[in-house]
């Protein structure tokens, strides 16, 4: 049986972002899964999120539109492959169309620390090295860290 090549981890197709957040794992996980919270922090600085549909559960999906500072709208869809509270969310993320060749796989882990903080790690796996490189080229790493910063601020970090 051949594995889906998009789900076979390969370092040349991967982007990994991680941040320690000064909040308990359960609160961080809830901020990711509560439809009223996720729109308050998700996305890079200066972007607004309009949620069209949000059902965060295994098999559910979140359809949303990012609006950038220049007014450009970006249609997005996340399909939730696994949601295991409070430790893991596994997602297919791409544009809001059925056949998106640029769709990528994301695994988000929430690791509780003894000091009450949480290490959040997002692992993106892109279909090709070329796509991963293009994603990095337009600033996805910096934009991803901005998003994690907004999450930390949402949860009370200063």
Provide the pLDDT for residue 10. 83
HSE (CB half, 13 Å, CA atoms) of 8?
6
Exposure class string for 19-30: b at 16+ Cβ within 10 A, else e: bebebbbebbbb
pTM equals 0.91
pLDDT > 90 in the chain, percent = 92
Q: Is the dihedral of CA 78, 57, 105, 14 positive or negative?
A: positive
Provide the pLDDT for residue 29. 98
Q: Which CATH superfamily is domain 10-154 in?
A: START domain (3.30.530.20)
Distance CA 7, CA 124 (A): 10
Torsions phi, psi for 74 (to 5 deg): -125, 110
């Amino acid at each position: 049986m051949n594995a889906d090549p998009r789900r076979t981890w390969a370092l040349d197709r991967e982007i990994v972002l991680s941040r320690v957040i000064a909040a308990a794992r359960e609160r961080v996980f809830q901020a990711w899964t509560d439809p009223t919270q996720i729109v308050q922090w998700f996305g890079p600085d200066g972007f607004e999120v309009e949620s069209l549909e949000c059902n965060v559960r295994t098999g559910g999906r979140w359809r949303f539109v990012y609006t950038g500072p220049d007014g450009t709208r970006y249609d997005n869809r996340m399909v939730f492959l696994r949601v295991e509270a409070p430790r893991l969310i596994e997602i297919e993320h791409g544009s809001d169309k059925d056949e998106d060749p640029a769709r990528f796989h994301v695994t988000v882990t929430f690791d509780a620390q003894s000091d009450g903080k949480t290490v959040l790690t997002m692992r993106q796996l892109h279909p090709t090295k070329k796509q991963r490189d293009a994603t990095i080229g337009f600033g996805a790493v910096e934009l991803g860290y901005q998003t994690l910063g907004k999450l930390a601020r949402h949860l009370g970090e200063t």
